[in-house]
Structure formats: structure tokens, C-alpha cells
Amino acid sequence: MKKIFLSITIILVLFIDANAASQFDKIYDNISPDKVWTIKFNRPYGYTTLNNSIQLTDQNGNKLTPQTSTTSDPNALQILPPSGGYTFGNTYYLTISRELKSANGKRLIKPYTMKFTIMSGYQLTYEVKIGGLNILKEIKISKITLPNAYKYKLDDSSNYYKLDEIASLIVPKDYTTIQFYDSNGNYLGKASIYVKTSNTQTTNITR
């Protein structure tokens, strides 16, 4: 599956003199499980002090290994999500400790800690209309929050439909599974939808 990462930038003045202390703690909610955090410093940081200066833990205190990436900007650092993404609904703590120094040796005056909570899940709102026969269904995607979703298919059909197209097909059961793909055909997620009666519902999308 091809990953499309979402990025957010945090601009921090981290390398400061002892008489310029500031409070850096931040709290973020409803974060994407594929979020990339971009930390931008006020001056280049020391690469050799990077490995032991960034800690990532989950809400249960379990330590995760943060994956970092450099950018073309020597003042910026990216922190990538864990393999498979963060867990829906979980809270995480990202700390940059005083072990991180600037390229000229200045140390953080205090650690920076960020708390962020992952969104409860991607959601799908769909409409079902029953045709002349109870097994003939029309399914329409009303709203979807899954990033990069471009087309979908249902278990009961081999056809693919764009998100703005209505699927008209025979579904002899009460529930069916709808699968979503990006424009390159990469699988993104799925949802179980209720198709026994005409209705409009919202449900969660899983991977």
C-alpha cells in the first residue's frame, strides 16, 4: 500500500540562552494516523545529538522508536509516523529533550513535550435506495474523510466506481463491504455498510 503522509509544521525557537526560558508544551486533537510532524528550529541543529534526544511514548507508557527525516532546510526535522500509522483514538507524547543541541553547541533550556490524540477513525456517510426488487440496491457516497480516496468497489461486484458515481447492483444480503482505492489503484481502507433498507448512515472506515 502506498503511503500518503500528511504533514504539519511546528516552528520552535529551541536553542536559546538561559535567561530566555519559554513554555513550549502543545496539545493537538483529531490528528491523522499518518501525520508527519515537521519541527523547524531557529538555527541548525546538531545531527550527532539527534538520536537520543527524541522520545515518543503512547498513552500506556510504551516507548516507540521515532523515525526521523531531514529536509532541504538545515533548520528543519521531520518525525514520521510508526509503520502502519498511529492507532486510532490513542494519545501520544513526543518529547525533545535537552540532549539536542544546536550546531554550535547551544542546549535547550528545557524539554519540549507535545501531546497529541489521533482521530477516532475515518468516516463514511452513504445513502442506500432499494429498487423494485428488494435485492436491487443503489449506493451513493455522500461524504468520506479518508484522504486520497478516489474510487470504490463492493464485495458483490467487480466494478469500480468513482466517489461521485452511484453503484447500482444486486446485493442479496443485509450487509456488504465497500473498499476504497486511490487514483493509482492502491487499497486505502474498507467499511461495512447496511443495505437491507433505504437509509442514510455514517460508519467508520478501517484498514
Distance CA 144, CA 165 (A): 13
> Domain tally for the chain?
2
Distance CA 153, CA 180 (A): 7
Residue 23 has pLDDT above 80, yes or no: no
Looking at mean pLDDT, say which of 12-16, 36-40, 43-47, 130-134 comes out highest.
36-40
CA atoms within 13 A of residue 173's CA, in its CB half-sphere: 8
Q: Identify whether the C-beta of residue 96 lies closer than 8 Å to the C-beta of residue 103.
A: no
**Judgement on whether residues 90 and 23 belong to the same structural domain of the protein:** yes
C-alpha cell at 37: 510532524
Q: Identify whether the C-beta of residue 181 lies closer than 8 Å to the C-beta of residue 188.
A: yes
**The domain boundary residue, chosen from 64, 86, 118:** 118
**The domain boundary residue, chosen from 62, 87, 118:** 118
**Judgement on whether residues 179 and 200 belong to the same structural domain of the protein:** yes
Instruction: Report the mean per-residue pLDDT for the chain.
Output: 85
Residue 89 has pLDDT above 70, yes or no: yes
Average pLDDT score over residue span 160-175: 94
* CATH number of the domain that residue 140 is part of: 2.60.40.760
**Judgement on whether residues 92 and 19 belong to the same structural domain of the protein:** yes
Looking at mean pLDDT, say which of 23-27, 52-56, 64-68, 147-151 comes out highest.
147-151
**Judgement on whether residues 178 and 78 belong to the same structural domain of the protein:** no
Percent of the chain clearing pLDDT 90 (strictly above): 54
User: Does residue 1 lie in a domain region?
Assistant: no
**Judgement on whether residues 22 and 92 belong to the same structural domain of the protein:** yes
pTM recorded for the entire structure: 0.67
Residue 87 has pLDDT above 70, yes or no: yes
- Of all residues in the chain, what percent are helix, strand and coil, respectively (each to 5)? 0, 50, 50
What CA–CA distances, in Å, run from 116 to 33, 43, 78?
A: 11, 25, 16
Nearest to 122 by CA among 158, 155, 86, 91: 86
**Judgement on whether residues 16 and 37 belong to the same structural domain of the protein:** yes
Between residues 10 and 18, the one the model is more confident about: 10
Q: How confident is the model at residue 117 (pLDDT cuts 50, 70, 90)?
A: very high
End-to-end CA distance of the chain: 11
Q: Which domain holds residue 49?
A: 6-118
Q: Which helix (H) or strand (E) holds 171?
A: none
Distance CA 188, CA 169 (A): 23
**Judgement on whether residues 107 and 155 belong to the same structural domain of the protein:** no
Q: Identify whether the C-beta of residue 68 lies closer than 8 Å to the C-beta of residue 40.
A: no
pLDDT value at residue 10: 54
**The domain boundary residue, chosen from 118, 140, 164:** 118
User: Does residue 196 lie in a domain region?
Assistant: yes
C-alpha cell at 114: 507535545
**Judgement on whether residues 106 and 129 belong to the same structural domain of the protein:** no
**Judgement on whether residues 132 and 114 belong to the same structural domain of the protein:** no
